[in-house]
Structure 1
Amino acid sequence: MAKKVLITPKSFQKYKQKPIEMLEAAGYEVILNTTGRTLTEDDIVDTAKVGVVGIIVGVDPLPARVLDSCRDLRAVSKYGVGMDNIDLDRAVELGIKVKNAVGTNSVSVAELAIGLMFESARRLSEHINTVKSSGWDRTMGIELSGKHLAVIGGGQIGKEVAKRCRGLQMDVTIYDPYFNDPGFLVEYGVERSEDFDALIRSADVVTLHLPATEETKHMMDDDVFSKMKPTAILINTARGELVDEQALYEALSRGQIAVAAQDVYSKEPPEEGDPLLSLPNFLLTPHLGAFTKEAVERMAVRSTENLLEMLKGGE
C-alpha cells in the first residue's frame, strides 16, 4: 500500500501539478485539502491518523495532540516560513522532522509591507472610493522619503523591506538581538539599534518582521504605543499575536499613533463587530502577503522538495 502525503494549504491547488508529479514519482499517494478552507485539528487527525507519513502544512494547526494522533507521521514541511502553528518541541520528541520553505515568500511579503506603508501615508483606497462615489475630497498625506523606518526583525523579509526602503530614501534602522550580518548594513546603508525603546520613540514607521513566540507575543502593547510618535505608522505583515489588539484599539482611538495597517490578525478572519475594524485609521488585508503567483509557485515546489528530502532519510 502506497504511503500517503497530506497537503493542506488552499493556495497549493493553484500550482499542484509539478509537486504532485514529484510526490507520485517517489511513490507517495497524495491527499489534497479540497474543503476550500483551513483544516481544523479534527480534520487533520481524521485524515492523517493512519498511513500519512508526511504533511505539507500551511496555517493549519499541528499542536501536540494532532502530532500524537498521526501515528505514521515522519515529516512536516511548512508551506511558508512561520512555524508557530506547529508544536516543534513535541515534533522533536516524536522524531518528526520539520522544515520550512525559507526565502520563498520574502519578496512578496516585503512588497506588501511597503504597499501598506504607501496606503497608510496617502490613504489611496479611501480616495479611490471617494472618487468612485462621485466625490472629489482630498486628505493631506505624507511622504515616505526622509522618514525614519524601524524594522523590527532582521531576517530575510526584514532585510528585503530594509533595502527597498533605502531605495525610497528612508532612513532605516533594524532592531534584532540576533542579527549578525554587518556586511548587509554597510552595503545598503542601514543602521542597527540595540535600544528598542529609543528606536520606537524616534521611528516614523514601525514594521514587524519576526515570529510569534512567548517572548514576542504582545510585544506591541500599551507601554510601547505610549512611546511612539502620534504621527507614527505601524505595519504588521508577520503575525497577529505580536500586537495587543485591545491596546492598539486604545492607541488608535486616542491618537497615540496615527495609523496601523496589518495583513495578519490574532483570529483570522476577525469576528464580526470587532471594534478595531470600525476605526478609519486601522487597515486590515486578508493575510495575502505570500499570495502572489511567484511566491505560491516557489513555496509549492520548495515545500515538496523539503518533504521528499526529509522522508528520504527515513526510507
Structure 2
Amino acid sequence: MPSCLVVQPIHPSGIRKLEAAGIEVRRASCADMATVAQEITGCAAVITRNAGLDTAAITAASSLRVIANHGIGTNKIDVAHATGLSIPIVFTPFANAWSVAEHAVMLMLAVGKRLLPSDQAVRGGNWDYRYQPGLQELRGKTLGVVGFGTIGRMTAEIAGRGFGMQVVVHSPAADPAAITAAGARACASLHELLRTADVVSLHRPSRPDTRHLINAATLDVMKRSAILVNTARADLVDTAALAEALRRGGIAGAGIDVFDQEPVPAGQALLGLPNVVLTPHTAGSTDEALQETADQCADQIIEVLAGRRPPHLVNGAVWDARRLPT
C-alpha cells in the first residue's frame, strides 16, 4: 500500500479520496522541515501547503513519486531539486481562485468603508464616528489589476459587474485583446496604472523581477486617496515602505492577506496602523475552496501513482522520465 504524508491539515474530503483509492494517509507531527524530512521516509506522495518542501526533505524521500502543492504558489518547494530527481509536482491553479478574488474585493470594501474602526466605534460607544469623513464607495472608481491571470480576471469581473468599477490592467504576459474582451483597458506600464487607479489589487507571482513591485517610489505615484490590496505574494510589497506611506497619508489604506513572516511577529510595522485591514492568509481558505483544493491534490496523486498524467503539472518535462516505484 503506498502512503502519502500530509504536512499540514487539509479538508477531510481529500483524505477520504486517498484512503478510498488504497493510499495510506500519514499526518506529519509537525510542519517544520526537519520533522518532515524524518517522517517522509518511505512515502510515495506528499501534500504540502504553505510549509513547502525543502531540499533536505525531498532528498530524504527516496520513495517519493509525486509532490502535491495545496494551492498555486510553489515558491516554498525546491522545484529544481525535485525536477532533478524526476519527481513530478502537481498543483491546484484554479481551485481557490474565486475565493481569493472575493477576498480581494472584501478587503477593498473593508478598507474603503473603514469597517474595523467603525466596528470599534460601536463597541466603544462612539456613535459620533459616523460623522467623520473619508468613507468611500467603489462604484465608479477605477480598479487597477496588476497581473491578469485567473484570479486577476475574476477580481476584475466582480468589481466591474458588481460595483460598476472601471478596470485597468497591467500584466506583461497577458494578451491585450483578452484584456479588452474582459471590458478592461491595458496599461503599458505599472506607473500608468498606479497613477490612474483608485484601488490597486496585486495578482502577480513571486519572482526576482516582481520583488517589491510596490515600494517607496511606486507608492509615491499612487493617489493619496488610493487603496492597495495584496492577496497574492508578500514579497510583491516592500512592507516598510507601505507602512510609512500609510502612516504619513501617502495612500488612504491597505488590505493585506500575505506577509513576509507568518505568523506576523509582534511589533511588525503594519499592526499598529488604523488604516490597514489584515487577514491571516485566509483568502483561499473558504470551506468550498479548501474542499476543492484537497480533492484536486488527492485526485492528481491517485492519477500519478496509477501511471496516468495529471492535469496540472508544475514540471511537465519530467513526466516521461518520472521516478517509478522500485
- Give the TM-score of the pair, scaled to structure 1: 0.92
User: In the alignment, what sits opposite 1:258?
Assistant: 252
1:287-311 per-residue CA deviation (whole Å, 9 max, x = no partner) reads 1101111101111111111122222
- Determine if contact 2:160/2:167 at 8 Å carries over to the other structure: yes
Question: 1:124 aligns to what?
Answer: 115
SS at match of 2:243: helix
CA distance in 2 between counterparts of 1:232 and 1:54 reads 45
Q: State the partner residue of 1:99.
A: 90
Instruction: Confirm or deny that 1:23 pairs with 2:18.
Output: yes
- How far residue 87 of structure 1 moved from its aligned partner, in angstroms, is 1.6
Which of 25, 31, 38 in structure 2 is aligned with 1:46? 38
1:16-39 per-position Cα deviation (integer Å, ceiling 9, x unaligned)? 1x433332343321112465xxx1
1:232 to 226, 233, 249: 226
> Separation in 2 of the partners of 1:23 and 1:71?
21
* Distance in structure 2 (CA, Å) of the matches to 1:57 and 1:268: 16
Tell me how far apart the structure 2 counterparts of residues 134 and 89 of structure 1 sit (CA, whole Å): 56
Query: Secondary structure of the residue that 2:305 maps to in structure 1?
Result: helix
Aligned to 1:182: 177
User: In structure 2, what is the equivalent of residue 214 of structure 1?
Assistant: 208
* Whole-angstrom CA distance in 2 between matches of 1:196 and 1:128: 35
Pair 307,185 (structure 1): closer, same or farther in 2 beyond 3 Å: farther
Provide the alpha-carbon RMSD of the alignment: 1.6
Structure 2 CA distance for aligned equivalents of residues 41 and 304 of structure 1: 22
- Aligned partners of 2:87, 2:276: CA distance in 1, in Å? 40
Bigger shift: 146-155 or 245-254?
A: 245-254
Output the CA distance in 2 between the equivalents of 1:245 and 1:192: 27
Structure-2 residue corresponding to 1:4: 3
Q: Deviations over 1:58-84 (max 9, x none)?
A: 101312232122222121111111111
**TM-score with structure 2 setting the length:** 0.89
Q: Percent identity?
A: 34
In structure 2, what residue type is equivalent to 1:3? P
What is the rounded CA distance, in whole Å, between the counterparts of 1:87 and 1:181 in structure 2? 33
- Structure 2: how far apart are the matches of 1:181 and 1:100? 27
Please tell me the residue identity of whatever aligns with 2:100: V
Alpha-carbon contact 1:40-1:61 (below 8 Å) kept: no
Distance 2:260 2:57 in 1: 21
Inter-partner Cα distance in structure 2 for 1:98 and 1:91:
8
Cα distance, 1:107 vs. partner? 0.8
Extract unaligned runs of 5+ from structure 2.
308-323
Give secondary structure in 2 for the equivalent of 1:52. Answer: coil
1:279 aligns with 273
The answer to whether the 8 Å contact 1:80/1:101 transfers is: yes
Greater shift, 190-199 or 295-304, is seen at: 190-199
Quick check: 162-171 or 62-71, which moved more?
Answer: 62-71
Per the alignment, residue 164 of structure 1 pairs with 158
- 1:45-101 C-alpha deviation (Å, 9 max, x unpaired): 0110x2111111110131223212222212111111111111211111111101111
Supply the distance in 2 between the matched residues of 1:149 and 1:257 (Cα, whole angstroms): 15
Instruction: Confirm or deny: 8 A CA contact 1:5 1:29 kept in the other structure.
Output: yes
The alpha carbon displacement at 1:185 in A equals 3.2
Q: C-alpha separation between the residues in 1 aligned to 2:22 and 2:258?
A: 37
Instruction: Look up the match of 1:108.
Output: 99
* Residue pairs, 1:138-149, within 5 angstroms: 138=130, 139-140=132-133, 141-149=135-143
